[in-house]
Chain A
Amino acid sequence: MNIPYTVERREDTGLYNAKLGVWLFLASEVMLFGALFSSYILLRVGADAGTWPRHWLDYKLGALNTVILIISSVTNVIAWANLKLGSFSKYRFYQSITMVCAVTFLGIKSYEYYGKFHHYTVTLKDGRIADGHIQLQETTKDKLVLDGYWPASQAVVMDPPSKVEESKIEIETKDIAEKHNYGPSRNNFAGLYFTMTGLHVLHIIGGILVIFAIWGPLSGMHKTDPDRYANRVEVAGLFWSFVDLVWLFIFPTFYLL
C-alpha cells in the first residue's frame, strides 16, 4: 500500500502530509510547554517576597547552551538546504555538526544537574546554616564535608551574593537538624526547573535520535526516493527549531529573572 502525499502536495492544504502532521504536533507542544510556563507564572507571582530563589543557576552555562542550540539550528537548516541542492555529503557534514551541538548541550546540562544534586543546604541544631557542594570522598557516615560557606539566613540561601568565599566545612552528622540538596523536591523553583528543563532534554534526546536515524540508518532512501527523504529532513528540522525556540524562553525565565 502506498502512503499518499509523502512528496506531492494535497490540493486542499497545499502541503505534504508529514509537514501538516508535524505542525499539528508542534501546536500541541506549544500547549504543553505553555501549561508549564503558566504554572511558573502562577507560582512565581504568588511567592512571598524573599522566598523565590534567585541566582541559583549559572547564567554563563545557560548562555553557552543557548548559543550552542542556535548554532545547531543553523547547521540543521543549512544541511537541509544542501540536500535540496543535491549535495548529500555536505548535508551529512552539517547535520553531524547539529548532532555534536546537541550532545554538547546535553553534556553541559548533565554537568548542571550533577552540581544541583550535590549541592546541599544544611541546617545545624544550633541554628547555623551551611551551604555548599558535598565532598563525597571525604564524607563519611559520621561526618559531612562541604565545599561552601555559612549564609547568615535562609534569605541569603534564596538569593546568594554573586561572589562567595568558599571553604571546606566539616559537620558532625549528629549536629545536623536537616539537610536538603538542590534537587527537584527542594522548592517550587527547583521542581519547575527540573520539570521544564527535563522535558526539554527529553525533546533534545528525541530530536537527536530522529536526526541520527535519518542521517544514518535511513539514509538509503536518499537514493531510492530523494524528495521524500528531503521532506523527512525538513520535518525533523522543524521539530529541532521548535526545541531551540522553547529554550530561548526557558533560559531567561530560569537563569536570569
Chain B
Amino acid sequence: MSKTSTKELADVKKHVKQHIMIAVALAVGTLTTLWTSQTNFGSFARNVEATLAIAGIQGFLVAAFFMHLLSEKKVIYCFLVFTAVFFVVMIGITFWARMPGNVIHYP
C-alpha cells in the first residue's frame, strides 16, 4: 500500500466502526419496516408512505456511508444529479400517463 497515506489509513480505521454502526441502523430499519407494515396508520397510502420513507432512509445510509457518497468528488455528484433528474422525469411520465385524457387512463 505504498501510495496510501497515513491520514487515509486513520480514516479507514475510523470508518470501519462507523460501518458497523450503520449496519446495525439498517437492521433496525428493516425491523421498523416490518412493524410499519403490520400497523394501521389510518389508510393504505399512509402505510406506503411510512414504509417507503424508511426504505429511503436505509438507501441513503447505504449510498452515503457504504458507497462513500458523502465524501465523493464533484463529478460523481454531477452524474448523480443528472440521473436523479432523469429518474424523476421517468416517474413523472408514469403519473402523467395515468391522468384523465392521457395515454393510459383507468376509469
Interface residues of A (CB under 8 A from B): 7, 13-15, 20, 23-24, 27, 30-31, 34-35, 37-39, 41-42, 45-46, 59, 63, 66-67, 70-71, 73-74, 76-78, 81, 83-86, 226-227, 230, 237-238, 241-242, 244-245, 248-249, 251-253, 256-257
Contacts and interface: CB of A to CB of B under 8 A. Distances in A.
Given A15-B75, A74-B19, A226-B2, A34 B91 contact: yes
A85 B13 contact: yes
- B interface, over-half SS: helix
A27 B80 contact: yes
Interface of B: 1-4, 8-9, 12-13, 15-16, 19-20, 22-23, 26-27, 30-31, 33-34, 37, 47-48, 51-52, 54-55, 58-59, 62-63, 66-67, 73-76, 79-80, 82-83, 86-87, 90-91, 93-95, 97-98, 104, 106
B3 A73 contact: no
Given A42-B104, A241-B67, A244-B66, A257 B48 contact: yes
Nearest to B44: A257
Contacts of B90: 31, 34-35, 38
A196 to B, nearest CB: 14
Nearest to B48: A257
Given A14-B75, A84-B4, A256 B34 contact: yes
Contacts of B52: 249, 252
Given A42-B104, A84-B4, A85-B9, A31 B75 contact: no
A81 B16 contact: yes
